[in-house]
């Protein structure tokens, strides 16, 4: 795509222009409370194919469908009792549900990658929600970045990766949750965690009244997008660093004197999640300015949002392929 990417203002005219572009089969990045999404009309195969091309995304990887409300969601997915319970507890919000596709759904096979399920979510972000309401249909949207790179939590991050490759960006504020949605597979009354994310597992377990199942068998990935190396900056990353060496810079968590940046000096996991991706980008820039240093990261507790933060950090630190 040769044309420059339009920067649409977060007002009525901008929302209308964004919805019109989606209806015409265009690609529009928009804010959600988790990360910026790269949206296309989920019913238009050509538009969805353009998402994969803009992101250089492996085509076996299915996309999340975004909707404005539960009624719209029920046009595409079959909600059983458990799914309704989860939707009413956590929507709008950072939770995606993988549910059986509804007959006659009309969603492109490129969105579901040929599976008989669909991942669906209702974002809470006011601007993203306004766009979905105006468009009044299903919007397929992965994170608005080149596949495998750090996810975008500001409109500027989107433009860094995708300027000239997509039609427009709806220019909102930075995302306040800062990590992607939690993904759950619902089958009968069994609920499996496919990806840790913005809603902590403990809170979901309290809602459904029993433990989540975990899918960790690498031979049968339930969420094909869970690639081992992902979210990767250029610099090498070392996790759980209590001390760090002269050729490293430290991304801190909790009280620590010598960090270059601190995800949360007071040890607040919400603050750390909101800062994670933008600080990874900044640390990457600083590491390269300092002659190719590595990034050491303080230990992050493995509960609540820490589970999602550690999942992203482990992928960022994984050997690159
Ligand atoms: O917060 C989010 O979820 C963001 C914003 C933009 O909504 N979106 C996002 O999308 O993170 P993406 O494409 O980066 O991740 C989608 C994940 C992938 O891991 C994919 O494999 C999984 O959802 N997924 C989609 N459909 C699925 C299905 N039918 N069954 C299992 N996993 C599915
Ligand atoms: Mg992504």
pLDDT in tens, 199-238: 999 999 999 999 999 865 444 444 545 556 677 788 999 9
Give the pLDDT score at 216.
56
Dihedral, CA of residue 106, residue 112, residue 115 and residue 121, to nearest 10: -90
Pocket of ligand 1 (CB under 6 A): 32, 34-35, 37, 61-64, 96, 98, 112, 115, 117-119, 121, 141-143, 180-181, 183, 194-195, 222-226
Pocket test residue of 151, 199, 224 for ligand 1, highest count of atoms within 8 A of CB? 224
Return the beta strands (E) in the chain as ranges.
6-8, 28-30, 37-41, 64-66, 95-100, 117-121, 139-140, 168-170, 182-187, 190-195, 213-214, 237-238, 248-252, 261-262, 294-297
Euclidean distance between CA atoms 18 and 29, whole angstroms = 9
Angle at 150 (CA atoms; ends 297, 158), nearest 5 degrees = 140
Q: Stretch 155-168: mean pLDDT, rounded?
A: 97
Give the pLDDT score at 2.
60
Q: Distance of CA 54 to CAs 1, 59, 107, 108, Å?
A: 9, 12, 20, 17
Pocket test residue of 35, 119, 176, 198 for ligand 1, highest count of atoms within 8 A of CB? 119
Strand duo 182-187 + 95-100: pairing:
parallel
> Which ligand is nearest to the Cα of residue 141, counting in written order?
1
Q: How far is the CA of 120 from the centre of ligand 1 (A)?
A: 9
Q: What percent of the chain has pLDDT over 90?
A: 86
Assigned token pair, 56: 């250089």
Tens-place pLDDT, residues 40-88: 999 999 999 999 999 998 776 899 999 999 999 999 999 999 999 999 9
Q: How far is the CA of 121 from the centre of ligand 1 (A)?
A: 10
Q: How far is the CA of 180 from the centre of ligand 2 (A)?
A: 8
Q: What are phi and psi of 91, to 5 degrees?
A: -105, 145
Domains of the chain are 6-214 (3.90.870.10), 237-317 (no CATH)
The model carries a pTM of 0.91
Q: How far is the CA of 151 from the centre of ligand 2 (A)?
A: 6
* Placement of tokens 């572009």 in the chain: 21
Residue 254, Cβ neighbours under 10 Å: how many? 17
Give the torsion sign (CA, 112, 117, 123, 128): positive
CB 179 within 8 A of CB 17: no
Nearest CA to ligand 1 atom 19: 225
Q: How far is the CA of 17 from the centre of ligand 2 (A)?
A: 25
Pocket test residue of 40, 64, 178 for ligand 1, highest count of atoms within 8 A of CB? 64
């Amino acid at each position: 795509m040769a044309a420059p990417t339009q920067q649409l203002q977060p007002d009525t005219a901008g929302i209308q222009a964004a919805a019109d572009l989606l209806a015409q089969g265009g690609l529009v990045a928009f804010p959600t409370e988790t990360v910026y999404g790269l949206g296309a009309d989920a019913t238009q195969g050509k538009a969805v194919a353009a998402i994969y091309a803009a992101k250089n995304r492996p085509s076996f990887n299915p996309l999340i469908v975004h909707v404005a409300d539960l009624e719209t969601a029920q046009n595409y997915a079959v909600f059983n009792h458990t799914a309704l319970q989860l939707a009413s507890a956590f929507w709008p919000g950072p939770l995606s549900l993988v549910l059986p596709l509804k007959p006659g759904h009309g969603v492109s096979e490129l969105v579901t990658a040929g599976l008989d399920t669909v991942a669906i979510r209702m974002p809470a972000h006011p601007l993203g929600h306004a766009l979905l309401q105006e468009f009044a249909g299903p919007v397929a949207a992965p994170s608005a970045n080149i596949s495998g790179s750090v996810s975008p939590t500001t409109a500027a991050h989107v433009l860094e990766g995708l300027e000239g490759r997509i039609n427009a960006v709806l220019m909102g504020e930075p995302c306040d949750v800062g990590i992607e949605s939690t993904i759950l597979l619902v089958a009968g009354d069994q609920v499996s965690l496919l990806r840790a994310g913005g809603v902590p597992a403990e809170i979901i377990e309290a809602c459904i009244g029993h433990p989540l199942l975990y899918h960790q068998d690498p031979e049968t990935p339930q969420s094909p997008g869970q690639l081992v190396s992902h979210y990767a900056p250029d610099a090498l990353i070392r996790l759980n660093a209590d001390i760090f060496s002269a050729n490293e810079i430290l991304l801190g968590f909790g009280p620590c004197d010598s960090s270059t940046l601190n995800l949360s000096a007071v040890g607040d996991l919400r603050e750390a999640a909101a800062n994670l991706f933008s600080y990874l980008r900044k640390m990457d820039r600083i590491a390269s300015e300092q002659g190719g240093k590595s990034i050491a990261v303080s230990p992050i507790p493995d509960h609540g949002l820490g589970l999602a933060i550690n999942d992203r950090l482990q992928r960022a630190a994984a050997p690159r392929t």
